[in-house]
Amino acid sequence: MVDLTTTYMGLKLNTPIVASASPLSQRVDTIKQLAEAGVSAVVMYSLFEEQVIQQSLEIDHLLTHGTDSFAEALSYLPDSGRYSVIPDRYVDQLANLKAAAGIPVIGSLNGVSPGGWVRYAKLMQDAGADGVELNIYYIPTDFDLTGTQLEATYVKLVKAVRAEITIPLAVKLSPYFTALPNLARQLQEAGANALVLFNRFYQPDFDLEALEVVPNIRLSTSDELRLPLRAVSLLHGRVPVDLAITSGVHTAHDVLKSMMAGAKVTMLASALLKGDAPSHARDILADLRAWMEEHEYESITQMQGSMSQRHVAEPAAFERANYMKVLGSFRFSDGSATHSSLTMGMLYPFLGTPINDAGAEEE
């Protein structure tokens, strides 16, 4: 029997499959079923900075103006939309999940600016959270804001949340940082125990008929795994934080790749939201066990980081040299090589080896 246990931010988990932050955690029964299926922990849907601030504004308005002008005042407040939760209800839901699920529950705070709202990290801890995940989802639009200033704000926010709690803290990041290794180190020094890589940006589309910007959520596919896979491979063993992969984990193979890159856990949302979440989780775990038995792996821990940049036979595979190699391997449909593959082949004899349709190198 293979051993699927792993640890994440000091939590001992039965399997490397965690339910990522999503509306699934609004349903206690679903989370119970996921736990029975082998999902080892759950990250709750997020409590947003804006929701906490809105609640404070409403209370403040009630206290200072009475109820007469309240309805009108509310209409000017930003509409949090269907995904709205009242912060205190959030904390109650966390306690409910904790009481019913039988697996670790991680609260999720989602915001960008240090401020009074971060006290909810402490309220989550008091409600029984096993950890807090801080999702920093910032989209810069200010031309005067530099990357250094932005990173300093991230660090300040992490310090502010760390100061509120004693339980483990994870930070969920977007992929578009210029110098991720350095930022990872800064966040760890600010108090992060884990990094969750990566947020998927929900990129708005244009409706050409209505000439409107339309936000819509598309579920991921396994193709999206490559982005966090490389980041985790590069960071593994170099910063003393646990790494979690989210984005594009759908199959047992995706979980295996994530473990080999160096992740402690994988966090799944799209795969579970697509259909019957518990049965899908069960299938992934069955496939995972079968693959490990077939390939004579005894445990998940044994494979964690085995394909990270520190351990892989060709570390350059993650870097620029490989970028050129990949471009150089392209062939037109008539089989002829590109100009760049010829040039690169001359510069770097190991590059530009013709690759046939099946992807295998030709003799």
Nearer to ligand FMN, 130 or 224 (CB): 224
Helix axes 87-101, 119-126, angle to 10 degrees: 30
Interface mask toward ligand FMN for 135-164; x: CB under 6 A: x-----------------------------
User: Which tokens go with 35?
Assistant: 């736990």
CB of 340 to ligand FMN, least distance (A): 32
Residues 141 and 165 sit within 8 Å (Cβ to Cβ): no
Interface mask toward ligand FMN for 329-348; x: CB under 6 A: --------------------
Q: Which residues pair with 190 in a beta bridge?
A: none
What letters, b where the CB count within 10 A reaches 16 and e where it falls short, cover 330-361? eeeeeeebeeebeebbeeeeebbeebeeeeee
Rule CB under 6 A: choose which of 3, 7, 10, 23 binds ligand FMN.
23
* Residue 62 in the binding site for ligand FMN (CB under 6 A): no
Q: Name the DSSP class of 299.
A: B
Residues 195 and 187 sit within 8 Å (Cβ to Cβ): yes
CA–CA gap between residue 194 and residue 151 (Å, rounded)? 17
Rule CB under 6 A: choose which of 16, 131, 168, 248 binds ligand FMN.
248
Complete DSSP assignment for 221-257: -GGGGHHHHHHHHHHTTTSSSEEEEESS--SHHHHHH
Q: Name the DSSP class of 118.
A: G
Residues 227 and 192 sit within 8 Å (Cβ to Cβ): no
CB of 22 to ligand FMN, least distance (A): 4
Residue closest to 19 by CA, chosen among 269, 243, 285, 323: 269
User: Which tokens go with 196?
Assistant: 């969750």
* Residue 46 in the binding site for ligand FMN (CB under 6 A): yes
Nearer to ligand FMN, 70 or 83 (CB): 83
Rule CB under 6 A: choose which of 6, 22, 40, 309 binds ligand FMN.
22
Nearer to ligand FMN, 217 or 342 (CB): 217
Interface mask toward ligand FMN for 205-244; x: CB under 6 A: ------------x-xx---x--------------------
Stretch that binds ligand FMN, among 4-12, 20-28, 185-193, 311-319 (CB under 6 A): 20-28
* Residue 20 in the binding site for ligand FMN (CB under 6 A): yes
Rule CB under 6 A: choose which of 21, 37, 85, 121 binds ligand FMN.
21
Complete DSSP assignment for 160-221: HHHHH-SS-EEEEE-S--TTHHHHHHHHHHHT-SEEEE-PPP---EEETTTTEEE-------
User: Which tokens go with 75?
Assistant: 């209409």
Rule CB under 6 A: choose which of 52, 94, 249, 300 binds ligand FMN.
249
* Residue 6 in the binding site for ligand FMN (CB under 6 A): no
Nearer to ligand FMN, 33 or 135 (CB): 135
How many residues in the shown chain lie near ligand FMN by CB under 6 A?
24
* Residue 258 in the binding site for ligand FMN (CB under 6 A): no
Span 264-303, contacts to ligand FMN by CB under 6 A: 268-271, 273
Nearer to ligand FMN, 25 or 329 (CB): 25
CA–CA gap between residue 248 and residue 164 (Å, rounded)? 32
CB of 330 to ligand FMN, least distance (A): 28
Half-sphere exposure of 198 (CA within 13 A, CB side): 20
Rule CB under 6 A: choose which of 105, 124, 164, 200 binds ligand FMN.
200
Residues 166 and 215 sit within 8 Å (Cβ to Cβ): no
Chain residues in the site for ligand FMN (CB under 6 A) = 20-23, 45-46, 108, 110, 135, 172, 200, 217, 219-220, 224, 246-249, 268-271, 273
